[in-house]
Structure 1
Amino acid sequence: MKKGYKVTDVDRQKKIGVAAENLEELIEKSCKKLGVNANCCDYRLCVAEDGTAVTDDEYLATLPPQTLLVLLKNEEKMVTDFDYYYNMIRSTKREFIDSGRAAQEFLSTDIREKFKVFQRYIAAADDARTMLSERAQDPDWFQGLEPSEKSKEHSMSKRVKERMRGYYYKTKSALQASDLYVHSKNGLGKKLIDQFLTDLRTLLESNKYNESYFNRKADEDMRLCKNTGLFECGGLWNEAKCTYEGDHVINPYRSREERIIFQTWNLDHRIELSRSIIPKILQAISQIMSGTLSCIHCSKQVSVGGIVADRYYLQIFTRENLKLVHIVCHNKSKHSAESDIYTVCKKCIRSQRIECN
């Protein structure tokens, strides 16, 4: 069944509507409608809002109708919604920031200073509409969002779900690209990885993609913000709190501009997904395949057992390992925190289920 999408190019000069059943058809039709005279294999699609690459039909199917996608040549750099709107505001809306010399100084500072100045500007804006929730009450806040997003809380919950899906598909892509998956003897590695991914997705769906994290109306112990919608930076991955106290705060419920800026805030993995968690998952599966695994529950060395998907779920998708941080506090260098090999013997498998909150 065909689903409709919106597609634009990297410069956002033209926006088209495309109905397609799969990714190949979507790229082909997008190239044709945007007047691209080249091999469609040289192009890719990314989600405009956060830059997530659309790499397969399964991920494409999770995107809501009319999602805006960006068609890119393989060598072109993705420009997210935030980057686009930020550059637009910088170049055409300077009066909203300041004028004369102040504007000149703003445009000449480095990126960190720009964010600090921009946040101060927004924080000084009218707060009267912050606590409004419905689209009809504050329509300006919803500009650029899907008509189905009827409240600010619904929209912010959707943003969390998109990030969680991104983590899932990043994990899936890495595992399915591994030698263990592609070249495993008798297809056992492929079978074990596919089962692990199914278990991981089941956990994610049963916990509703942790949609409460950005929802200010959720229970206090389930959300990352205050009941006003104010978020505070958690600081560097290895620090107890942010050293920019009072400076790295944001309320995306206040205005459309602040909602866009919030896209630059990261849910940072203390134990890194690519560098530590995924390699440990592969090691755990390798041990199961070789029949030389250690049970994390009874500590016995056994030949038959399974992988504890719950433990990796907690590290990939929950606050046990995620910290919300301002872009300045998102340290991309290698973290010293490490994941582990979570395998369990056949006897202990059922006793290892973990509550995932």
Structure 2
Amino acid sequence: MFGLFQKYKPMKIRNFHDNKKYGVAARNLKELLKKACKQLQVPVAGAHVCLYEDGTEVTEEYFPTVADNTELVVLSREQTWSGVMCDVGWLLSADLHADRLIEAVKDLFSDELSPKRRKILTDLLLSLEDTSERESREEDEDWFKGVDVRFKTKSAYMKYNCASRIRGYVKEVDDATKTIQKPKVRAEFMKMANCLTDMLKSAKYNGCYFDRTEKETDRFCTQEGWFTCQGSFDQDVCQSLHSINPYSNLESRIIFSSWNLDHRIEKKRTILPALLDAAQSHTCTEINLGYFYRLLFTRDNLKLVHIACHKKGAHNLLCDQKKMFKRAKCTSEPKRKAKGKRIRVV
């Protein structure tokens, strides 16, 4: 008698591989199965119900605890469900045209509320919308939205993007000149800054690091355009396995702008102060500018890292004092006479 007064629970039901959902109200699991099987044309014998979210099987005892409007999957005897990844797995294994596959993922995403599953579907959608094989503006106009018209290829723009980042480091070197009070020291430091700039110009500001058409040894990415996070300054690899292909679509290109070129030995806290200190007592010709150039502008000291792996605290790494200055000439070398005759060494 009590069952007659049980409250109807509204639920959302769906089939094993059908994104379409239906509303059903039932007082218990038996009633739900009866209505759901009729609606979805699933054989009643052996039918069972699972939570769409994580695959938990709904029993008669568990049914009263299920929240109203919960999404349920109705399964036949031989079918199993382990959560949203079942949908993703099926989509990837299905023989669907790329456009249809993208639409199917978008359908899943539209009604999804779980942040974790939305993230999974977002990443999947980005990978499906991959147009990385297209290089020119004519081939992939969407990728070039907001990009100056002078850039005709993705690689050309990515090279410029990298060079712009590194060019910004030159400005920081120039700004350090303003902090020097003594005119003589300031003049010497300006010589150093100009030499470093000339070295960087000759390397075209190392824009090759982001250019997938460059030699493998000169770029951070694969030939297809994939970049992998190298982990924080104190790690050998990224623990989260972050990766991205900014060549693949517009959104990935924009997201990639948040990735950092991180100096292992810090630029502001360590490298520039060390260069300023050296300028106090040494001339431009005595300082090993090649060493400072590598620290400031090259992969010798730069790591490409995802924003989550970019540690902004002090790195506690110092410049190598033995490499900061040029080696003095060996005093044991035999001297030469003015006329170029060799002195006999006894």
TM-score by length of structure 1 reads 0.58
Residue 221 of structure 1: SS of its match in structure 2?
A: helix
Who is 2:317 aligned against? Answer: 337
C-alpha distance in 2 between matches for 1:211 and 1:167: 13
Residue 240 of structure 1: SS of its match in structure 2?
A: coil
For residues 65-91 of structure 1, the C-alpha deviation after alignment (integer angstroms, 9 at most, x for no partner) is xxxxxxxxxxxxxxxxxxxxxxxxxxx
The 1:320/1:118 distance shift into structure 2, 3 A limit, reads: farther
Shift of 1:177: 2.9
Who is 1:194 aligned against? Answer: 190
Note if contact 1:251-1:259 (Cα within 8 Å) is conserved in structure 2.
Answer: yes
Note if contact 2:137-2:144 (Cα within 8 Å) is conserved in structure 1.
Answer: yes
User: Which one has a bigger Cα radius of gyration?
Assistant: 2
Note if contact 2:245-2:252 (Cα within 8 Å) is conserved in structure 1.
Answer: yes
The 1:272/1:305 distance shift into structure 2, 3 A limit, reads: same
C-alpha distance in 1 between matches for 2:251 and 2:301: 29
C-alpha distance in 2 between matches for 1:316 and 1:96: 48
For residues 130-154 of structure 1, the C-alpha deviation after alignment (integer angstroms, 9 at most, x for no partner) is 1111100101100001000000000
Note if contact 1:305-1:346 (Cα within 8 Å) is conserved in structure 2.
Answer: no
For residues 129-186 of structure 1, the C-alpha deviation after alignment (integer angstroms, 9 at most, x for no partner) is 211111001011000010000000000000011001111112221x1232xx2x20xx
Identity within the alignment, %: 34
Who is 1:354 aligned against? Answer: none
For residues 187-228 of structure 1, the C-alpha deviation after alignment (integer angstroms, 9 at most, x for no partner) is 211111110110000000011111110111100110100000
For residues 300-338 of structure 1, the C-alpha deviation after alignment (integer angstroms, 9 at most, x for no partner) is xxxx95222111110011000000011110011100211
What amino acid sits opposite 2:274 in the alignment?
A: K
C-alpha distance in 2 between matches for 1:230 and 1:97: 27
1:234-253 correspondence runs (5 A):
234-245=230-241, 248-253=242-247
The 1:202/1:122 distance shift into structure 2, 3 A limit, reads: farther
Is 1:280 the counterpart of 2:274 in the alignment? Answer: yes
C-alpha distance in 2 between matches for 1:305 and 1:319: 24
Structure 2: 5+ residue stretches without partners: 1-105, 331-346
Note if contact 1:122-1:258 (Cα within 8 Å) is conserved in structure 2.
Answer: no
- Among candidates 300, 315, 319, match of residue 320 of structure 1: 300
For residues 109-146 of structure 1, the C-alpha deviation after alignment (integer angstroms, 9 at most, x for no partner) is 9xxx99x668614543322x211111001011000010
Shift of 1:340: 3.6
Structure 1: 5+ residue stretches without partners: 1-94, 290-303, 349-357
Shift of 1:347: 4.9
Residue 128 of structure 2: SS of its match in structure 1?
A: coil
- Among candidates 128, 140, 151, match of residue 125 of structure 1: 128
**Dislocated runs of 4+, deviation >6 Å:** none
C-alpha distance in 2 between matches for 1:154 and 1:118: 31
What is the root-mean-square deviation in Å for CA atoms of aligned residues?
A: 2.5
What amino acid sits opposite 2:229 in the alignment?
A: C
Does 1 or 2 have the higher relative contact order (CA < 8 Å, sep 6+)?
1
1:22-101 correspondence runs (5 A):
98-101=109-112
Who is 2:61 aligned against? Answer: none
Number of equivalences:
223
Residue 334 of structure 1: SS of its match in structure 2?
A: coil
What amino acid sits opposite 1:238 in the alignment?
A: D
C-alpha distance in 2 between matches for 1:346 and 1:243: 44
C-alpha distance in 2 between matches for 1:232 and 1:307: 35
Shift of 1:236: 1.2
The 1:337/1:151 distance shift into structure 2, 3 A limit, reads: same
The 1:336/1:144 distance shift into structure 2, 3 A limit, reads: same
What amino acid sits opposite 1:161 in the alignment?
A: A
